[in-house]
Amino acid sequence: MKKFKPALFRQQFPLVVNYEGNTLSINNSLSQIESSSPLVYFDNGATTQKPNCVIDSYHSFYQTANANVHRSSHALSAKATTAFEHARKRVKTFINAKSYKEIIWTKGTTESINLIAMSFGRKILKQGDEVILALSEHHANIVPWQLIAEQTGAVIKIAELDVMGRVDLPAFERLLNSKTKVFCCAHLSNVIGKINPISELIQMAKSVGAITVIDGAQAVVHFPIDVQSIDCDFYVFSAHKMYGPTGVGVLYGKQALLETMPPYQGGGEMIKQVSFNSPTTFNSLPFKFEAGTPNIAGVIAFGKAIEFISAYNAKQIREYEKQLTIHCYQALQNLSVSSKKIVTFTVQGLPDIPVICFTLSGHHNHDIATALDSYGIAIRSGHHCAMPLMEYLNISGCLRVSLAAYNTFEEINYFINCLKKILAQESDSSLACANNNGKNEKNEQASSLVITQFAAVKSWDARHRQIMLLGKQLNRLDKSARNEQTLISGCESLAWLVTQKNRHNIFHFQADSDAKIIRGLLFIVLAAFNDKTAEQIQAFDIESYFNTLGLIQHLSPSRGNGILAIVDKIKGMAQ
């Protein structure tokens, strides 16, 4: 077993180490870092970066072993099949399954849960049966069950959380009864970061004969999993969240259960015998659930990821991740503006894994995430595919810092310093805006004015500041005008649009959003379209306008799509 040395471990991740500006080691000095273009990757809960061995595995497979698996009798296929099945055995050992037959390859956690719901759920659930889901589940562990409940007449019940954010055991016990057929729960929520009392929950669910489905998407990379010891019926996870490739996932199921389940998809390799004259019979486990050509290169690369991570002392990795978590959590806790603490953590107490979710009072999550992005810091903002949890917490979304064992204390310090700088800039820009007000009145040449303002700014950081300044100049819509009718769908944050047409057929639009960055972008869009006729609106070349401003390439695809949705809506209104 290799001793875990953070610096050497980090060296294995080329994107993290070699990313443009990261050849400069990140330290606390902002001036040093601002001159380069770094990447501080704190979005590991979404997907982790990949080590060299995983990347190399793709090259090696396609250069030396590419063939389809299980189907052909030639040597190359045998070579590919051996490597492919070797990866399955690695997973079996990694989670301590009893047999390789219990390991089914899928595309990821989402597909694994869909497989269980559509095959097992559809078979056993009847009208009035109950499926219990934890309140903090990811949509991947909610929606498949909602779909199946609709088809079977089963009812979904919700397991509440305790004050620390874990599934509440007494409340869970009260939900259990003879109608409880399935219990689905994340080992760890992707927002809360606290380990659920999974063994106790499983034992309680079993006491009423329910089948247990555990979503390990956020757990597997952070601590060892022993499916026999926790005694769950199903355990699911994705390769890409544990240093492996995208497009590969695992469904672990107890063999006896898997044997009773009908196939999920039909096709090649999942059959024993197909005939038009007699019923089709199915292959043995695990192949019964693996229709079609699988992601062979991905599965083999995943095997390498498991080999990679298993080589290190897991306790040392966990201890390092804990120290990173404490450092980041405390630094956020101490963050203040005018001596007022401004961070609210999504749930009480230090998380068990390096996933820290929070909001900053007076700031929209998307504004902070975009501002951090301009410093090369990648964190996630939004509802994190856990809308019911957001509703329960009474927030529209939050910021999430999710760390991996290749992250460093220096990166956290850089992140905190940038956050401080952004918060300080916010108050400066309020002043700048006050000075500017009155100069930027409604004006037919508004779009040219925007272009002129942007011409002077070169870096994305400066452009970002300019957008935020413009956002402050956008007149806010009345609360009454921000309603379902005026809401623009397709935006990451809430945005509303209203229009008026005068007797000369000139259109005037007003828009608003709950995020400052979106208000800035709305200002830019309205500058292009306001006080024009329908013909002028249709004729305006918005693409080259955005290109001139250098905007779209810096916006996330979802935010870029949101802006394009607004443009479409305006054009639609001006038909």
| Residues known to be catalytic | 385
Question: Where do we find the tokens 């902070």?
Answer: 368
- Classify 41 as helix, strand or coil: strand
Among 215, 367, 411, 426, contact with ligand PLP (rule: CB under 6 A): 215
Return the DSSP state at 131: E
Region label for 154, one of left (φ > 0), alpha (ψ between -120 and 50) or beta (otherwise): beta
Q: Does residue 116 interact with ligand PLP by CB under 6 A?
A: no
Candidates 45, 46, 24, 44; CA nearest to 35 is 24
Least distance between ligand PLP and beta carbon 141 (Å): 6
Between 140 and 230, name the residue whose CB sits nearer to ligand PLP: 140
Q: Tell me the pairing of strands 211-215 and 355-360.
A: unpaired
Least distance between ligand PLP and beta carbon 216 (Å): 8
Contact pattern for ligand PLP over residues 185 through 214, marking x by CB under 6 A: -x---x------------------------
Least distance between ligand PLP and beta carbon 136 (Å): 9
Interface of this chain with ligand PLP, residues 222 to 241, rule: CB under 6 A:
238
Strand partners, 382: 398
Between 249 and 376, name the residue whose CB sits nearer to ligand PLP: 249
Among 22, 48, 119, 218, contact with ligand PLP (rule: CB under 6 A): 218
Question: Using alpha carbons only, what angle is made at residue 181 by residues 177 and 182, rounded to the nearest 5 degrees?
Answer: 115
Between 186 and 526, name the residue whose CB sits nearer to ligand PLP: 186
Residue 108 and residue 248 in contact, taking contact as beta carbons nearer than 8 Å: yes
Burial of residue 523 (CB within 10 Å: 0-12, 13-18, 19+) is buried
Contact pattern for ligand PLP over residues 72 through 111, marking x by CB under 6 A: ------------------------------------xxx-
Helix (H) or strand (E) holding 235: strand 234-238
Residue 242 and residue 221 in contact, taking contact as beta carbons nearer than 8 Å: yes
Q: How far lies 162's CA from each of 47, 171, 345, 395, in Å?
A: 28, 9, 15, 18
Between 301 and 567, name the residue whose CB sits nearer to ligand PLP: 301
Between 238 and 486, name the residue whose CB sits nearer to ligand PLP: 238
Residue 6 and residue 320 in contact, taking contact as beta carbons nearer than 8 Å: yes
Residue 61 and residue 304 in contact, taking contact as beta carbons nearer than 8 Å: no
Q: How far lies 127's CA from each of 124, 151, 187, 205, 323, in Å?
A: 10, 9, 28, 20, 49
Interface of this chain with ligand PLP, residues 129 to 168, rule: CB under 6 A:
138, 140-141
Least distance between ligand PLP and beta carbon 321 (Å): 17
Question: Using alpha carbons only, what angle is made at residue 9 by residues 6 and 12, rounded to the nearest 5 degrees?
Answer: 150
Structure tokens at 400: 């999430």
Size of the site for ligand PLP (CB under 6 A): 12
Between 216 and 520, name the residue whose CB sits nearer to ligand PLP: 216
Residue 529 and residue 570 in contact, taking contact as beta carbons nearer than 8 Å: yes
Least distance between ligand PLP and beta carbon 140 (Å): 4
Least distance between ligand PLP and beta carbon 218 (Å): 5
Between 238 and 429, name the residue whose CB sits nearer to ligand PLP: 238
Between 69 and 142, name the residue whose CB sits nearer to ligand PLP: 142
Burial of residue 561 (CB within 10 Å: 0-12, 13-18, 19+) is middle
Question: Where do we find the tokens 């080329």?
Answer: 14
Residue 405 and residue 9 in contact, taking contact as beta carbons nearer than 8 Å: yes
Least distance between ligand PLP and beta carbon 369 (Å): 16
Between 109 and 346, name the residue whose CB sits nearer to ligand PLP: 109
Integer Cα distance of 357 and 554 in angstroms = 24
Helix, strand, coil tally for the chain in percent (to 5): 50, 15, 35
DSSP string, 291-349: -S---HHHHHHHHHHHHHHHTB-HHHHHHHHHHHHHHHHHHHHT-EETTEE-EEESSSS
Among 192, 217, 398, 517, contact with ligand PLP (rule: CB under 6 A): 217
**Number of CB atoms found within 10 A of residue 199's CB:** 12
Binding site for ligand PLP (CB under 6 A): 108-110, 138, 140-141, 186, 190, 215, 217-218, 238
